[in-house]
């Protein structure tokens, strides 16, 4: 059994795991191909393929083969590719270490500053139709959720509290604190200079918690 990010969905049926692995190794396959490889009837293969298709893990294409009906070949989707381990974090961290070694820490700072400015521009455009601070914060929270963040928004008489429970660049931010510094600066640019970060994931806390005063003074 493989230890893959979404592999628990196959624990109850190892045949579907074998189908995924066959497609990964051999590329598009027909029902006949699966039947020969796995020694399962065509009817049984169809049931497994239908289950995988409903989960968005496989798709099919048609292949003309002379006279008669075209053949259906099944293939993995981009979602299925997420089942297999990736080393993106290690790659990115090593790239940043190479940049630091060859061009200095100031270059690292510049990269995160560029990233902050790009994100800030996009977010400001997305929030431009919102008039009140509350509407902007709620819309911002929704934007983060759409991008895959696990976010929680609450409020008191004095401030809004926005908690991010996951970070897409967590490992990188743990190595290069510039990422966290510029994220805080982005919040200040969006919601005022009195925004404060109470907790940070890269410091071992359960969330990045930002406190945004209700009455935000002009910068």
Is residue 29 a contact partner of residue 74, using CB atoms and an 8 Å limit? yes
DSSP string, the chain: ----TTGGGGTT-HHHHHHHHHHHHH-SB-HHHHHHHHT--HHHHHHHHHHHHHTTSEEEEEE--SSSSPEEEEEE-HHHHTTS---HHHHHHHHHHHHHHHH-HHHHHHHHHHHHHHHHHHHHHHHTT--SHHHHHHHHHHHHHHTT--EEEEE-SSEEEEEE---TTHHHHHH-THHHHHHHHHHHHHH-TT-EEEE-GGGT-SSEEEEEESSPPP-
Domains of the chain, residue spans = 7-81, 88-213
**Per-residue pLDDT tens digits for 2-21:** 434 444 455 557 899 899 98
Q: How many CB atoms lie within 10 A of CB 96?
A: 19
pLDDT, residue 3, reads 38
Q: What is the pTM for the complete model shown?
A: 0.69
Q: Report yes or no: 152 and 142 within 8 Å, Cβ to Cβ.
A: no
Length of the chain counted residue by residue: 219
Mean pLDDT, each 10-residue run in order, the chain (219 residues):
45 82 91 94 94 92 74 89 80 96 97 97 96 95 90 93 93 95 97 96 93 71
Give CA angle at 92 (113, 107), nearest 5°.
Answer: 35
Whole-number pLDDT of residue 85:
72
The number of angstroms, rounded, from the C-alpha of 157 to the middle of its chain's C-alpha atoms is: 34
CATH class of 7-81: mainly alpha
Q: Which residues pair with 74 in a beta bridge?
A: 29, 60
Q: State residue 84's pLDDT score.
A: 79
Topology (CATH level 3) of domain 88-213 = Muramoyl-pentapeptide Carboxypeptidase; domain 2 (3.30.1380)
pLDDT of residue 163: 96
Does the fold of domain 88-213 match that of domain 7-81? Answer: no
């Amino acid at each position: 059994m493989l230890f893959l990010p979404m592999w628990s969905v196959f624990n109850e049926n190892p045949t579907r795991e074998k189908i995924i692995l066959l497609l990964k190794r051999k590329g598009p396959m027909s029902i006949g191909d699966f039947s020969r490889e796995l020694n399962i009837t065509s009817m049984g293969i169809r049931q497994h393929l239908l289950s995988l298709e409903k989960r968005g893990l496989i798709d099919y294409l048609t292949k003309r083969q002379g006279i008669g009906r075209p053949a259906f070949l099944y293939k993995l989707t981009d979602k299925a590719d997420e089942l297999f381990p990736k080393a993106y974090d290690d790659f990115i961290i090593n790239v940043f270490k190479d940049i630091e070694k060859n061009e200095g820490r100031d270059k690292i700072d510049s990269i995160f500053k560029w990233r902050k400015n790009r994100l800030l521009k996009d977010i400001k455009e997305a929030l431009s139709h919102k008039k009140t601070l509350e509407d902007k914060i709620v819309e911002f929270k929704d934007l983060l959720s759409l991008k895959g963040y696990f976010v929680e928004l609450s409020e008191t008489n004095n401030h809004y509290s926005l908690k991010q429970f996951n970070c897409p660049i967590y490992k990188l931010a743990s190595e290069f604190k510039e990422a966290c510094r510029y994220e805080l600066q982005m919040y200040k640019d969006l919601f005022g200079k009195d925004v404060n970060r109470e907790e940070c994931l890269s410091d071992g806390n359960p969330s990045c918690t930002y406190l945004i005063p209700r009455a935000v003074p002009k910068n």
